[in-house]
Amino acid sequence: MTPEAAIVLAEEAGLDLVEVAAAANPPVCRIMDYGKYKYEEKKKKAAGKTKGSAELKELKLRPGTDDHDLGFKMKQARKFILEGDKVKVTVMFRGREMVHRENGYKQLDKVREIMGTLASTESMPRMEGRFLTMILVGNRDEIAKQKKIEAQAAKAAAAEAETEGDGGAKAEPEPTTEASAEG
């Protein structure tokens, strides 16, 4: 088919004539909606990027971080791990704290103990300047088990709320009017 005939055919169909293989003899062309094609290619490329590896989230602690604050940070770490991310736990030292690095190691041991079987250590604690870091990765089996437990709890809570909603409407007291004795 001649290029002119192909252009006429594409215009009649309301589409574009796109050269697919210019190096071929004769050159290969295709009649298609080029804008739609580019959009779909962009979508495929973006979808491929998001499916990749887990993101690395960081939690920063100090050697003297209290138990309550540590518990709060561990709730965040647990949430990140359940979402499929890796967690980098960093203990920051300042000044004379560097002399007592064992406090930082103790802090990271507490973190490992709190996380339990939900996460395993990808990289053991190591010093990098004045930072002591450790990377935690989720245990897939344990994550699946936790998600199942949470789903059951949510289902039970929804069922309980539904039964309370029905009973709550019936149990409301009716407003009473009392006649005043004064008068």
Number of Cβ within a 10 Å radius of residue 42: 10
Q: pLDDT tens across 133-178, in order?
A: 999 998 888 888 888 888 899 899 988 888 876 655 555 556 666 5
pLDDT reported for residue 26:
83
pLDDT reported for residue 180:
53
pLDDT reported for residue 91:
94
pLDDT reported for residue 52:
56
CA distance 110 to 142: 19
Name which residue leads in pLDDT, 162 or 181: 162
Q: Are strands 86-92 and 56-61 parallel, antiparallel or unpaired?
A: parallel
CA distance 31 to 40: 16
pLDDT reported for residue 90:
95
Q: pLDDT tens across 80-94, in order?
A: 998 888 999 999 999
Across the chain, what does the average pLDDT equal? Answer: 85
Q: Are strands 28-32 and 16-21 parallel, antiparallel or unpaired?
A: antiparallel
DSSP line for 67-85: HHHHHHHHHHHHHHHHTT-
pLDDT-based confidence at residue 50 (cuts at 50, 70, 90): low
Q: pLDDT tens across 55-73, in order?
A: 899 999 999 989 999 999 9
Question: Going from the N-terminus, what domains does the chain have, and what CATH number goes with each?
Answer: 1-36 (no CATH), 56-141 (3.30.110.10)
